[in-house]
Amino acid sequence: MINILFCGNSGVFDGILTCMLSILKRTETSEPFRFFIYTMNLQDIDEKYQPLTLQQISFLESVAREYNPENIIERKDVTALYNSEFRGCPNEQCYCSPYTLLRLFADLVPGMPEKFLYLDADILANRDIMLLYNIDVSKVEYAAANDHYGKYLINPFYINAGVLLFNMNLCRNTGLFKKARELIKTKKLMFADQSALIRSTTKKKLIAQKFNDQKFLHSWTVLRHFSRRLFYFPYPHIANIKQWDVTNVHKIFRYFNFDDILLEYVYLKEKFKREKINEC
């Protein structure tokens, strides 16, 4: 099994769907995928913090199985873990959302494999994911690429935590996740989970930027991460264009090589809406 982890609420459904599609379309392997999704219900904090629904999970699995009948989606509700560990912590209202903290439960969630790839939902695969997944992490806690801006503004080895290839055996031995959770619970951190992971790391492998390209798309880019980025024209500003915003992917980025993925996404999104209406 090739093991992939996503985290989020019902609002990241489009991101998970497009990212999953890109992986399935760009990867040539007969080995099945197992997609773990950590989710939770925090509607008492914000009404939009609803967990991914069973209908959404079922639809994602039906899509995945079109590519390989052995592909699996596993939904993990970690609401109880969150309430026990992070409820009311200094980073609950962090720069993104509380859902960015959920990957820090990987050592507490039953059934997690010894090796898995964590991905933010705002990512598209441009090339075969096995180029990344087959990297040897047997002697490190994880492999990660530089943060595009952090490597200039903070330090040359500063990593972006949107793409992390984990070796769970060593992570458990060093207490990586436990140490990171303690930081989340006790200190207000600029980038919450990312800062906590970096500060708790014993040993990591720095991999090429092509495995987490946050600004550019090249022919050699393996994963294009649609994170916030700085634009200089028509005036300096920061924009947060996601891959499911098909119009701006074309208009602003002028990317057309993902059109096979995005065309299928648009079709599937409409199909999901129709199925949802029919069930009501």
Please state the rounded mean pLDDT for residues 70-86: 97
What pLDDT, on the 0 to 100 scale, is given for residue 190? 78
What pLDDT, on the 0 to 100 scale, is given for residue 235? 64
What pLDDT, on the 0 to 100 scale, is given for residue 256? 97
Distance, in Å, from the CA atom of 4 to the CA atom of 133, rounded to the nearest integer, reads 9
Q: How many residues does the chain have?
A: 280
Question: For the whole prediction, is pTM greater than 0.85?
Answer: yes
Instruction: Give backbone dihedrals phi and psi of 214, rounded to 5 degrees, phi first.
Output: -95, -5
Instruction: Give tens-digit pLDDT for 126-176.
Output: 999 999 999 999 999 999 999 987 777 688 888 999 999 999 999 999 999
What pLDDT, on the 0 to 100 scale, is given for residue 237? 67
Say yes or no to pLDDT of 52 above 90: yes
The helix or strand, by DSSP H or E, that contains position 2, with its residue range, turns out to be strand 2-7
Please state the rounded mean pLDDT for residues 200-218: 96
**Domains plus CATH for the chain?**
2-226 (3.90.550.10)
Q: Which two tokens stand for residue 216?
A: 């550019």
* DSSP states along 68-97: -TT-EEEEEE-HHHHHHHTTT-TTTT-SS-
What pLDDT, on the 0 to 100 scale, is given for residue 275? 84
Distance, in Å, from the CA atom of 38 to the CA atom of 185, rounded to the nearest integer, reads 19
